[in-house]
Structure 1
Amino acid sequence: MLNRDTVRRKLEDLRELGFREEEVRSLIKRFPEVLGISENKLRQNFKFLVEEWKLPRNAILSNPAALHYSIEKRLKPRLNAFRALMMNKSLEKSMSYPPVRYLSMSEKDFHTKVVGRFAA
């Protein structure tokens, strides 16, 4: 159970990342586990998603679990896969979901629906 001070700090961390009050509430409602993410991981993941994945804040709001994923085990490998696959110009035109949705796919689905489909 999180104490009041911890929750207050998490709310402040989210505001410092640029989320407005109503966005913070929405984010917590969609993914309450965000309150358990360390400040360091929260900032690192947010920065990686915005700077490397080029995701707008509203994309992160639509899939806040992305703030919890491992950079080394999920975010970087999927970004690298997308970069390699983007050489195939048909990928971008045939993507059925916004990029943030591909982050939440299981490894099996990601490899089946993305890598296996476009790597050929």
Structure 2
Amino acid sequence: NLGLSDDDIYKLLKKFPEVLGCELEGMKQNVETLDRQWGISGKSLRSLLLRNPKVLGYYVNCKGDCVAKCTRCWARF
């Protein structure tokens, strides 16, 4: 549960409609990564998702060694 209201989901989908094509397991892993590595959860997670919903679609972590998938890379976060 991300703590998002129906209105929040509307806003998220408006900013990042591609989320509908993201795999559920990948999004769950991203939410876990946000909590584990940056301590972002609860209300902070909700605020982040409304500001930058694209983090749900990140699946690359180049760690500075670029793999040319910048729009999906955690390095942007």
TM-score band by shorter chain is 0.5 to 0.7
TM-score by length of 2: 0.66
| Unmatched 5+ stretches in structure 2 | 65-75
> Which amino acid in structure 2 is aligned with residue 25 of structure 1?
Y
Is 1:17–1:43's contact at 8 Å kept on the other side of the alignment? no
Structure 1 pair 50–60 and aligned structure 2 pair: CA distance change class (3 A): farther
Q: How many residues align?
A: 62
Higher relative helix content: 1
Please state whether the residue corresponding to 1:18 is helix, strand or coil.
Answer: coil
Task: Give 1 or 2 for the bigger CA radius of gyration.
Answer: 1
Higher RCO structure, 1 or 2 (CA under 8 Å, sep 6+):
2
TM-score by length of 1: 0.45
Deviations 1:82-120 (A, max 9, x none): xxxxxxxxxxxxxxxxxxxx51xxxxxxxxxxxxxxxxx
Partner of 1:32: 17
Percent identity, aligned pairs only, is 31
Q: CA RMSD in A?
A: 1.9
| Unmatched 5+ stretches in structure 1 | 1-15, 79-101, 104-120
